[in-house]
Structure 1
Amino acid sequence: MKQTRLADLATQGVSHNAAIRKKVMLQLGDLPHLTQFAQAQFPPGAIAGAHHHDDLHEVFFVESGTGKIVINGQSHDLIPGVCVAVAPGETHEVCNTGSEVLTLTYFGIRAASA
């Protein structure tokens, strides 16, 4: 059993933009196939630039704020309550388009080997 409390976790920058801060609740090695389970805070205007992962699925849940996620060139609105799954190989970019912090809770799962 592992228990974490979001309020007790240190923040760290995300690899795509250090201005975007995250708290990692579960990390690689804590559960089979899970790469991380985290919550990220995107300040207004912050962008996690276009990238893809060949080896994992990512799932994003919008806690608060507004933004856009662009997946393979197609833009989708991010508003509270929206959940988006990104498949391995899909190019995606996340940006805060609002005037308040965009909070995303997300996790990654290793893709099955081909």
Structure 2
Amino acid sequence: MKCVRLSDVESSPSGMPCSSREGDHAAGIVRKVLLGEHELPGSVRLSHALLAPGQSVAEHSHDDLFEVFYVLGGQGVLMVNGKSLAIAAGSCFVVEPGELHALGNDGSGDLTLIYFGLFA
């Protein structure tokens, strides 16, 4: 068994990619990796992210990765292949390999979410 407390995890450096095979598409986002690569079979990382009002993750895609997101608090906009979807606390969404996606906080408070990747 492993227990990780968010309060015990240090923030990752700004712009640190979700996996070693990704580029920098989330510069400035406060991210805490709860479970690192290779701690779960087939997974990249389980992370907690906080986007301040107006912050966004640049449009990008992953050739071999599913990303699963769950919004803990706040509101924002998810763009997938040019389509916009409003997201808020309680929203869960999956971005499939090859889908061009971006995420932004269009609210007045922080957008807080957890997410992880699974190799296709």
Work out whether the TM-score is over 0.5: yes
What CA deviation, in whole Å up to 9, does each residue of 1:28-53 have, x standing for no partner?
11011010001100011001010000
Equivalent in the alignment of 2:8: 8
Separation in structure 1 between the aligned mates of residue 26 and residue 42 of structure 2, nearest angstrom: 25
Over the matched positions of the two proteins, sequence identity in percent amounts to 42
1:51 maps to 2:60? yes
Equivalent in the alignment of 2:40: 31
2:93 is aligned, of 56, 73, 84, to 84
Structure 2, unmatched stretches of 5+, are 18-24
Moved over 3 A (4+): none
Amino acid at match of 1:95: G
1:70 maps to 2:94? no
Aligned residues: 111
Equivalent in the alignment of 2:115: 106
SS of 1:17's partner is: coil
Q: Pairwise CA RMSD of aligned residues?
A: 1.0
Equivalent in the alignment of 2:69: 60
Give, in angstroms, the shift of residue 19 of structure 1.
Answer: 1.5
Q: Which has the higher strand share?
A: 1
Separation in structure 2 between the aligned mates of residue 84 and residue 55 of structure 1, nearest angstrom: 17
What CA deviation, in whole Å up to 9, does each residue of 1:40-81 have, x standing for no partner?
000110010100001100011110011000000000011110
